[in-house]
Amino acid sequence: MKRMMLTAAALALMSGGAHAADDLTLQLKWVTQAQFAGYYVAKDKGFYDEEDLNVTIKAGGPDIAPTQVLAGGGADVVVEWMPAALAAREKGLPLVNIAQPFKSSGMMLTCLKESGISDPTTDFAGKTLGVWFAGNEYPFLSWMSTLGLSTEGGEDGVTVLKQGFNVDPLLQKQAACISTMTYNEYGQVLDAGLSEDDLVTFKYEDQGVATLEDGLYTLESTLEDEAKVTALVRFVRASMKGWKYAEENPEEAAEIVLENDETGAQTIEHQTRMMGEIAKLTAGSNGTLDEADYQRTVDTLMSGGSDPVISAVPEGAFTHLITDRAFD
């Protein structure tokens, strides 16, 4: 199938006058999985070829920070959560959101029912909660701030357990709650033998503290180069075509992701389930950032009292330039 698409692309170039496609490198936030299905689908189905793009997709991992890769020139565009992007921008890295494929947040805390937690406003105090770091902790810290809970421990605060990218702290009862994504770790908890009746979950969306995840970011300097802007316009258009195809064809999208997993660590069952959950998060987005969603994210990140994630309202942190031109 891929050979046929490449041949078709080659014939198209020959008929229209051969010229080199524009190269573009995308750095993912995490390892190859259905969380990034839209990009793999766009590449596999030839959507990038149709836009005359040669896209390299670089998988992420626990030791890869997308913002650092972008700053170091290792990518043209990255997938990142907005809290981490805005925090990096405030520290001096001029990141700009150019598109927002994810409309909703998949982040939540998953707690053992036996811990006695049923209401975040009253039951988190004195408990140990597992949290991812490397920029993923910002939504959690903002939430705790809105609840008036210190993250330094004690009866009136919470003890933060620096969570690895697994669910062991919950299974081993090292924490009352751990961070999970609707599309990934929650399923891992169930696969480990716990049932939904054993658990209590609190989605950030339901708690009013959801922040935007999995947006596309580039540097301000990139947006000053018209040739690069044109390439990004075509990239976003093709990527969103990939995302909508993935939403409508979750099983095929999961298979495409699996074909691109060089580690062999993923399974078709897990990726199919993940794609089903991911489709709920990308639904309703054509790639254009909703300014109300952006403002909610900013307000949440600035709600930390004396220790907010960001201390000032960002300026120039997003642009509609790319999506306006992509979908005009």
Does residue 320 share a domain with residue 232? yes
Please tell me whether residues 84 and 228 are part of one structural domain. Answer: yes
Mean pLDDT of the 86-92 span: 95
pLDDT at residue 107 is higher than 80? yes
More confidently predicted of 220 and 209: 220
For residues 225 and 315, membership in a common domain is answered with: yes
Sign of CA dihedral 148, 126, 84, 260: negative
Residue that the structure tokens 């920070």 belong to: 65
Average confidence (pLDDT) over 13-24: 68
**SS3 category, 110:** strand
Per-residue pLDDT for 67 more than 80?
A: yes
Please give the pLDDT value at position 8. Answer: 45
Give dist(CA 270, CA 239) in Å, integer.
23
Q: Do 143 and 219 fall within a single domain?
A: no
Give the Cα separation of 152 and 145 in Å (integer).
12
Can you spell out the DSSP letters for 139-180? HHHHHHHHTT-BSB-STTB-EEEE--SSSHHHHTTS-SEEEE
CATH number of the domain where residue 154 is located: 3.40.190.10
Rounding to the nearest 10 degrees, give the CA dihedral for residues 225, 229, 235, 241.
170
pLDDT band at residue 4, thresholds of 50, 70 and 90?
very low
Residue 1's pLDDT is what?
A: 44
Q: Give the Cα separation of 158 and 150 in Å (integer).
A: 6
pLDDT(7) > 50: no
Pick from 148, 182, 207: which residue ends a domain?
A: 207
Please state, in angstroms and as integers, the Cα–Cα distance from residue 328 to each residue in 22, 155, 234, 283, following that order. 21, 55, 12, 20
The token pair that represents 284 in the structure block: 């309703």
What pLDDT is recorded for position 306? 60
**64-73, 204-213, 298-307, 311-320: segment of lowest average pLDDT:** 298-307
pTM of the prediction? 0.90
For residue 321, what are its two tokens?
């330039």
* 107 in Cβ contact with 139 (< 8 Å): yes
Write the pLDDT tens digit of every residue in 223-254. 999 999 999 999 999 999 999 999 999 999 99
Residue 12: strand, helix, or coil: helix
Residue 2, pLDDT above cutoff 90: no
CA 281 to chain centre: 10
Q: Are residues 149 and 249 in the same domain?
A: no
The identity of residue 327, as a single letter, is: F
* pLDDT band at 307; cut points 50, 70, 90: confident
Q: What is the pLDDT of residue 17?
A: 44
Closest C-alpha among 14, 12, 38, 28 to residue 81: 28
Domain total in the chain: 2
Provide mean pLDDT across the span 142-168.
Answer: 91
Regarding whether 223 and 94 lie in a shared domain, the answer is: yes
CA distance 142 to 105: 15
- Pair 143, 203 in one domain: yes
Q: What was the pLDDT predicted at 216?
A: 98
Q: Distance (Å, rounded) from C-alpha 188 to C-alpha 186?
A: 5
pLDDT range class, residue 45, cuts 50, 70, 90? very high
Same domain membership, residue 318 and residue 285: yes
In this predicted structure, the answer to whether residue 162 has a pLDDT above a threshold of 90 is yes
pLDDT bin (cut points 50, 70, 90) of residue 146 is confident
**Cβ-proximal residues to 190 (8 Å cutoff; 6+ apart), any chain:** 196
3-state secondary structure of 186: helix
Hey, which bits of the chain come out as E strands? 22-27, 53-58, 77-80, 95-99, 107-112, 128-131, 159-162, 177-181, 199-203, 215-219
Question: How confident is the model at residue 303, as a pLDDT?
Answer: 82
**8-state DSSP, 211:** -
Domain residues for the domain of 125 are 107-207
Residues 228 and 321 in one domain: yes
Residues 95 and 147 in one domain: no
Q: Which of 155, 188, 207 is the last residue of a domain?
A: 207
pLDDT > 60? residue 97:
yes
Q: Kindly indicate the confidence band of residue 76, based on its pLDDT and cuts at 50, 70 and 90.
A: very high
Specify whether 85 is located in the same domain as 221. Answer: yes
The tokens describing 88, both together, are 């990096």
Q: What is the pLDDT of residues 111-121, one digit of tens each?
A: 999 999 999 99
3-class DSSP state of 264? coil
Write down which residue in 157, 176, 207 finishes a domain.
Answer: 207
Are 203 and 127 members of one domain? Answer: yes
